Chains A and B, each alone.
Chain A
Amino acid sequence: MSGSRGFSLPIRVVEAGGLSAWLVEDHAVPVVSVSWSWQGGAALDPGGQEGAAVMAAALLTEGAGPLPATAFADALRDQAIGLSFSADRDGFEGGFRALLPALPEAVRLASLAMAEPRLDEEAVARVRARAVAAARRTLETPRGQAGRAFWAEAYPDHPAGRPAGGTAESVAALPVDAIRAALGRQVRREGLLVAASGAITEGELAALLPRLFAALPAGAPPAAQPLPAFRRFGQRVLPVEAPQSSVVFGQAGLAASDPDWEAAQVMLRVLAGGGFASRLMQVVREQKGLAYGIGATLDVLFRQAVIVGSVATENARVAETLAVTREEWARMAAEGPTAEEMADAVAYLTGSLPLQFTDSRRVADALLTLRQNDRPPEWLAGRPARLAALSRERVATVGRRLLAPAELSVVVAGQPVGL
């Protein structure tokens, strides 16, 4: 009953021109998705230039080579090519999805975007205005304020504590040269991870890789400053005028390479996973009606997971919600899951595997995530057997090792009563 019957994802490794790409070939629909990434992202932004990488990523699709912004956009949209670039806290990603007839044009435009971005004055001004507005809008809601404060408190001396997109002030002051420098640091021929999925053969992908990346400068992006330990900061309250408080809570997690990674996933699924099945959801929503939803997951940055959760509740009930959350945290640390909870969580994690690979973009992105976490290609195929072999004791042990209510750091944005 726990099997993902007959499901397998044959991953092949394609090498060409010094690059390697993971491929899942699937000709059911005439579409191809390719995703790639470098380490770095906002972590490479120098102090005072926060937001440079994110803005640089946005500008890659705002004109390249002979094509000004609108001509470039038309070239993409005339053939429904979904090309995009993004930067986050620890990485810089690119990717496209294209129908087969549009594949050559998708490769040409993606390569052009990376090799010859125009950074026209008009486009820079427009994208800057949009980025400033986005940075300001994030702070319009209690949730945006709570998230911002949580990371700033947890990593006060590392770029991971800054908003990846910068602040309204840093983005407004960002010189074009800083954006150009961000691209120069980041968009290189080396340090690349590539994944592809869809109606493309190994040979076709091998031929495509050099066309995509050969025009980029040699070398790899510089290494980011190592991530320090998560700083436990206790409880912070941000006064925000709102009927409901937004709460972000979390604590140190474990490395993606930790041998107990999957045991920790099972333990967190039982405690705080998605849907109605978790202990926190049962007590906070189903039994007490305290919130619409509550959950916590492993948020990975620099191959290191932080346990981060969130909940939103009426100001008068924040204290109760937090008390209940801490109780459940302590109970899991003390007792671990029951045998039945273990079986349910393993059945879910195993059975839901095929649902993560239902379209070409999800497949390519999932492969890329595996590579970013240094998993070998056979990791996925072995996952059901590894999950099935986990003992209750091992999952309880990882709960004991990781979870402690005293370790929980909490930001509350709102007007909470009795904190």
Chain B
Amino acid sequence: MPPVTRRTTIRTAAVLPAVLSAAAPAAVLANPAVQPASPDRAAEALADRPLFGANTWTLSNGLRVVHVESRRVPVVAHYLFYGAGGGEDPPGRSGVAHFLEHMMFKGSRNVAPGMLSLAVAREGGQDNAFTSRDVTAYFQNVEASRLPLVMRLESDRFAAPLIPADTLEPERDVILEERRLRTDSSPRARFWETFEAALWGPQHWHGRPIIGWEPEIRAISRENLLDFYRDRYAPANAVLVVAGDAREADVRRLADEFYAPVLARPYRPRERGGAAPAAPAEARVTKRDGAVREASFMRAAVAPSLTWGDVRHAWALEVVAHVLGGGQGSRLHKALVETGLATGAGCSFDAEAAGASTFTLSATLRPGVAPERMEAALDEAVARLLQDGPTEEERARSVRQMTAGALLALDGFGTATRMLGGALSIGVPIETVEFWPRRLREVTSAEMAAAARAVLGGAPSTTGWLLPEQPA
């Protein structure tokens, strides 16, 4: 399951009819009608109040706790985030963070292997976990009265997972099948892996696949997993998020009962602050693949994030991505899709990342069009943006469309936990999530032009084409 970030929330809210999940804060429940006269004013009113109204505190062992109350439906989401993901895999052992995520389901001091999931299911709950480049997170969604149960189960593996040696090999087989399923069976996923390695280098923390290179998955030892747990899964490197039908006093009491007794210990912080590569490992990758039927273009450039490089550029780049590639009406859509050169074109940028991020442009070639022709049109669109910058009208439209749906994050379940836990786990303060529309509105078109020039006009980048074996 992909992690929900503020950016994906923006996109789903504004563009896609996807189901969002979130929880409503007590403030909205107490005063349900946020109904100013115009949507613009609704958005401005929102900027002055926190989106979720989260409570936060820290336990004596260093574990940070976030609580968001919503009594809308008698359910609660319980998430434990660790500030370590695939980016923290040791050299030559990509896939350790993800392998450990699997092994965390193999029992702990008081819970037999596999029993956590079965116990949660027996209570009508859902449980799962995910590993991203920045975080590893474990979660359960349950009916509200089952919160103590899932806190007891999760805190037990937080304190003392078994990682039993005899389950290692069957689980390695499962992970290799997962890799075949997600990556090896899909020509696009295979290409994306090659492409990221081309930009950052195949052993750079950003250039390695989160699931791991196959030979490295095969080489991971139990020691590697135990080391990762010891170094990264300490209370002070974790964030507990509880959102839903639970009162703060109860969450405080339960966190004290189950999580506070876990002993504090030092942890190894992530090392993402260093300089990005001065040049891409490979500036251009062209791959022909017999399974591919539609040619695809991709270009990614190293970009600042909210935790690395020029943070003001990071905010501006979010708006640049919308102006350039935010669907219908965007510059790439006009230059490539409406002209019949591409069937689709877009940009993606995630400012919420630990360390350097990437700004990505992508397009699917219309059959019969020469790739060079489409790429030239794209280059021209980018060059024009770098030369003249965005217009004031474009900035206003993009900011309006990106922020109009901010409140939709309250209509659901799980969005609050993922947005807040994801941000805190990478060192982004909670206020950034609570007040993000205000930050976007502060971006000026001059800042956008400067950020676009810094990233698309000079940062290391890789350009890639994935082509069918025979020209379409």
Interface positions of A (Cβ within 8 A of B): 1-2, 4-7, 26-31, 69-70, 73-74, 77-80, 82-84, 95, 97, 99-102, 122, 125-126, 129-130, 132-133, 136-137, 139-143, 198-199, 240-244, 246, 275-277, 285-292, 312-314, 344, 347-355, 357-362
Contact = CB atoms under 8 A, between A and B. Distances in A.
B124 A355 contact: yes
Contact of A5 (B38, B73, B114, B145): B145
Interface size class of B (residues with CB under 8 A): 35 or more
B340 A125 contact: yes
Given A5-B145, A26-B72, A78 B39 contact: yes
Contacts of A7: 73-74, 143
B17 A352 contact: no
Given A5-B74, A77-B15, A355 B145 contact: no
B218 interface: no
B19 interface: yes
A240 B184 CA distance: 13
Interface in B20-47: 20-22, 24, 28-29, 32-39, 42
B327 to A, nearest CB: 7
Contact of B404 (A80, A142, A357): A80
Contacts of A286: 114, 170
B185 A242 contact: yes
A31 B414 CA distance: 17
A31 B33 CA distance: 10
Contact of B185 (A95, A102, A143): A143
Contact of B401 (A69, A78, A132, A349): A78
Given A353-B124, A359-B413, A97 B177 contact: no
B123 interface: yes
A145 to B, nearest CB: 10
Contacts of A141: 185-187, 291
Given A70-B329, A277-B118, A289 B38 contact: no
B177 A357 contact: no
A142 B178 CA distance: 14
A292 B117 CA distance: 16
A6 B71 CA distance: 12
Contacts of A28: 24, 28-29, 32, 70-72
B24 A4 contact: no
A286 B343 CA distance: 42
Contacts of B400: 78
Interface string B105-126: 1000000001001100111111
Given A101-B39, A126-B337, A351 B328 contact: no
Nearest to B106: A286
Given A291-B177, A353-B124, 19 more contacts: A1-B123, A2-B124, A4-B143, A29-B72, A29-B411, A74-B329, A77-B15, A78-B39, A78-B404, A83-B17, A126-B343, A140-B188, A142-B185, A199-B32, A243-B180, A277-B117, A287-B170, A291-B174, A354-B73
Contact of B22 (A100, A243, A359): A359
Contacts of A313: 177
A339 to B, nearest CB: 14
B124 A133 contact: no
A165 to B, nearest CB: 14
A131 to B, nearest CB: 9
Contacts of A101: 35-39, 42
Contact of A77 (B124, B171, B180, B401): B401
Contact of B24 (A29, A244, A291): A29
Contacts of B329: 70, 73-74
A357 B411 CA distance: 11
A6 B411 contact: no
A370 B22 CA distance: 24
Given A275-B121, A292-B177, A140 B291 contact: yes
B24 A351 contact: no
Instruction: From B21, B121, B174, B401, name the one whose CB has the most chain A CB atoms within 10 angstroms.
Output: B121
Contact of A242 (B21, B28, B184, B407): B184
